[in-house]
A and B are shown apart, each in its own frame.
Chain A
Amino acid sequence: MQFTSAEEALNYAIKREIEAARFYTQLAARMRKREMQEALLEMAEEEKSHRDRLIAVRDQGIFTAGEPQVQDLRVADFVVMPEITDDLDYAQALILAMKREAAARELYLELARVSRDEALSQVFTRLAEEEGLHKRRFEAEYEDRVLEGN
């Protein structure tokens, strides 16, 4: 993967968010349970809001901090990726989502690390932070319910 400008990097990130929204929409269509169809469509909507935020960043040229940097809960590090079937439950959907966000975060951290351009490296670092926030949102919801007694 080669990037020469911040705009290119952001276009790539926007494309990934669009793909993510499509992924959840298609997955929702496969679900047997109505409540899971709705939950996955909500996740698709979240990805669209991430896309919109990145489009605004690209068009305005300002990458402001979304929220203060948060501690990494690292829930995604230790859970097993579920097999994707038409019978997913919400806990499995959350694992799937946090794992996807974790993978995206890792990718941007790596791109930041290998980037020789300082400005570009900073854009990737900010993108990694964004993905870290998305990951934490899923981890927190999983923790509040599935790990409530632990």
Chain B
Amino acid sequence: MKKALLALADGTIFEGRALGYEGETVGEVVFNTAMTGYQEVLTDPSYKGQIITMTSPHIGNYGMTPEDAESRRIWAEGFIVKETSQLASNWRSRQQLQDYLHEAKIVGIEGLDTRALTRHLREHGSQQGVITHVDGDPRRVVEKAQAAPSIIGRDLATAVTCGKAYRWTEGSGEWAPPLGDKTGLGATRRWHVVAYDFGVKLNILRRLVDVGCDVTVVPASATATQVEALKPDGIFLSNGPGDPEGVPYAIEAVRQLIGRHPIFGICLGHQILGLALGLKTYKLTFGHHGANHPVMDLRTRQVEITSQNHNFAVQTIHPISAIPDRPPVVDTAFGQVVVTHLSLNDHSVEGLACADCPVFSVQYHPEASPGPHDSAYLFTEFTQLMEKRHV
């Protein structure tokens, strides 16, 4: 069994066994606490630039299947697990995790104390790290980790966005969440949504189709004018990797589009929207990566269990220290912006809505995949904004 090393920029070393493609990789080491959905996590473009640690100890149990991929490939820079399964058992499984990683040339490591690593990241923050199968000198590997560029300020969206605009027509099929009367399909017509691809997860596109949208996906660099030319009923801002301040061009485009069309943003899209509205963003110590994050809708006081994956967050003027009785409001150049959702764990901003125009966004992932479907209704709310605008 081939040995492997994980070195963090602060000098911490973990030894383990080589996993995946033989080689060496660099990235920001983060941990994800979801107990299911490793394939969705690996293929989520938001992990560009990052090495993912899964806290769940057994990974690969149910194998891999093309329909569970969230994009055309793995974007994560590396993969850290306690133990991969030697046998994948599931009626849908088509491939073993190990082979999947190998084919995608992903360097990984297993057999280390992932809980110790997670606790370290929690205490000392996410940081650059190197996994190597080829370099046995811990000191040198640490130096490589220290030399790696930080993700702050970097434009990672460019690396993962689509080359050119395309249409998306496929829905969730049998895996669609039960929406009850919130399917949005009672609308007067289908809506044309232009979706900015900052690293979009396919399940977002599927959900948009599910609720009655025809989707045109455009590259991150699309200008407001280019988007206007497509005559959209609504604009969607996708999730994506890295620092929202790394994509000033997108912030500018969004600023021009606010007020002209209904806009819905998720994750990086939410942060870009926040910056476009004049709010600030900041980097969290170790981010939110998991499928069990409770978020309160401050308007209804209901709690949704959400899927999250982000390292940056939108800041209001005053930090929020407790759950307020009513949604806080911030004045911006575009009128009042309401903080609609808060994290119950750390009170960070999880959702925004403009009071005066049909614009809203959430930090978390209502498309789930992986994660619970509690927030699936948000896609319907987006169609309702378009419906209102239309009528």
User: Is B truly associated with A?
Assistant: no
* B binding-site residues for A, Cβ under 8 Å: none
